[in-house]
Structure 1
């Protein structure tokens, strides 16, 4: 039987998002957005002025935060950091590319 992975959070785990403004807005309207007491969000809006370094940093932050269970990344953003996405091999948080 496969080992189960426990998510260590006091409440339920969040969904993090890295995508364009329209995609993020849709998820925010659905109630997925979160801002903690330190004003940290669970999303990064990727615009034309967003650097690859900023995207990499957000991906690394979201995949190390204990309160995040899933990281959703739009396909074109995932292609920008393909080496990071492909090298990520931990079960939690799971990474899903959104073919938007």
Structure 2
């Protein structure tokens, strides 16, 4: 990874190639692999991990840590089923890269109440609303 400062003052992260990684059940992994996200490095490392409903928290975290430490991965997709088992980690994760996104699957449909990104946005919006001065006229 190369880091450069742009003329606007923002830090730019420049990678030779950026990948999407996935921690999901078999059906979702197959769908994304058919779409072309699959990759195997020269060290025989994959950018996806198939985890079923019987996967343990330790197993899922092992895959997540492996993907987080790889500099060539920019996005990690995690299905709701796997994300539910590592919810505390996801709520505390604040790193810029890689971005971790929860996605629905055939077995775990979308539920905004369980979406940690929506939860963070609602919390942030609530904090901003509380700090905003009242504009009502007396």
TM-score range, shorter chain: 0.7 to 0.9
Do the aligned partners of 2:22 and 2:78 also contact (CA within 8 Å) in 1?
A: yes
Structure 1: gaps of 5 or more residues:
none
CA shift for structure 1 position 3: 3.0
Q: How does 1:5-84 map to 2 (within 5 A)?
A: 5-7=12-14, 9=15, 11-84=16-89
Give the TM-score normalised by the residue count of structure 1: 0.88
Higher helix share: 2
Do the aligned partners of 1:5 and 1:92 also contact (CA within 8 Å) in 2?
A: no
Identify which of structures 1 and 2 has the higher relative contact order when contacts are C-alpha pairs closer than 8 Å and 6+ apart: 1
**Whole-angstrom distance in 2 between the partners of 1:70 and 1:90:** 12
Query: Secondary structure in 2 aligned to 1:77?
Result: helix
Report the structure number with the largest CA radius of gyration: 2
Structure 1 pair 49–99 and aligned structure 2 pair: CA distance change class (3 A): closer
Deviations 1:60-88 (A, max 9, x none): 11112100000000011111101111111
What is the RMSD of the two structures over their aligned residues, measured on CA atoms? 1.6
Give the TM-score normalised by the residue count of structure 2: 0.65
**Whole-angstrom distance in 2 between the partners of 1:4 and 1:82:** 29
Size of the alignment, in residue pairs? 98
